[in-house]
Each structure stands twice: as C-alpha cells, then as structure tokens.
Amino acid sequence: MKRTLPLLGLSGVALGAAWFVMSRRRHVLRDFVTHRFDPLVMRLGLVGGRISPWATVEHVGRTSGATYHTPIYPRTYGDHVYVPLPYGTDVHWVRNIQAAGHCRMQLHETILDLDEPVIIPASEHPMVPAWMGGALDRSGRSYLRLHVLDRAPGEFTHHLPAPATARTLDDEHRIEFVHPAESEDRQALEVG
C-alpha cells in the first residue's frame, strides 16, 4: 500500500504532463505553420500557380480592416469550394471570412469570388465517402464550404515579404508593406 499511492501519484502526474504536451502540440504546429511556413511558400510563389495544389485566399481582418493572403488547400466540387480545417474553426482567416461573408481566392491562375461561408462536418462533404464520414466527424474534422459567385482569369499581383505586414490603404486594395521596426517608429511619433 505504501508503494501504491506514490505510483498512482506519479502516474497521474505523467498522464497530466502527456495530456498537456499533446494539447499544446497542436498550437505549436499551428504557430509554426502560420508564422514560418505560410510566409515562406507565399514569398517563394508556390501558392496559387498553374500546377500548385495550394491556393491563396484573400480576406479582410475583422478589426484591423487589413487585407491578408493565406495559403489553403481547397477542393472544388460543383459550385462550391471545400477547405479542410486541420487546426479547427477558431483560426483568424476562417473567422475573418465568416465575419465578412465573402472572400476571394486565387486557384490555378483563376480568381474566384466566394460567398456563403459555412463550416460543415466531414460527413456533409460530397467527396468524403459515407463510410469514412462518421469516423472523421468523431475525430473533429470539419471543412469550410464556400459558394463560387464568379470565376475570372488572373492572379494576385503581390506576395508578402517575410518580415512585413500588409495594410489596406483604400478601396482599390493597394498594399503598403511595413517592416515591424518602422511600425514601432510610427507609433512612437504618433504618441510623442
């Protein structure tokens, strides 16, 4: 009995630590992809091209009003685009699109105007087999479904450099690239 209680206590601590590490891993991976991988593939121009499996979604920030470009991995089916959400539904680009109700996407040298954003479970995705939909639903897999309003040939003309952030200057969607150090200098001048 004297050895059982300490072993149970150690087992509880080990299980708690394992749970904590596993719960944080998703955030660590998401942060790495958001801050390191996405800017790299955007800067190298690997997104949205003729043979690229990735597309670029253009969305406007909910509070900042800034225009952002995020690489995604979409699939089209009929008049809809389906985007897997491996990091869940609480990521900024998904919330921005839901708040605005529309976005634009560059896919294979085509600009798609999209609206009607709806998050659906895997079982409602038309390209997921029925026998697999239930298992994916239980694992928490979901998709963002967007309706295609219009298709036009074209490309987004700018890609973000690594340390810069983009801000919309006016309704023409011109982008100003601001280095973080310059941004701090501007704020200091405005305050002082």
pLDDT score of 2:
58
DSSP 173: -
With residue 153 as reference, give the H or E element that holds it: strand 142-153
pLDDT score of 93:
92
pLDDT score of 51:
78
pLDDT score of 177:
42
pLDDT score of 95:
94
pTM strictly above 0.85: no
Residues 65 and 38 in one domain: no
Domain count, the chain: 3
Residues 73 and 85 in one domain: yes
The stretches in the chain having pLDDT less than 50 are: 5, 7-8, 159-180, 183, 186, 188-189
pLDDT score of 42:
72
Identify the domain containing residue 69 by its residue range. 55-160
50 found inside a domain: no
Residues 172 and 152 in one domain: no
12 found inside a domain: yes
3-state secondary structure 79-125: CEEEEECCCCCCCHHHHHHHHHCEEEEEECCEEEEEEEEEEEEHHHC
137 found inside a domain: yes
pLDDT score of 129:
87
pLDDT score of 128:
87
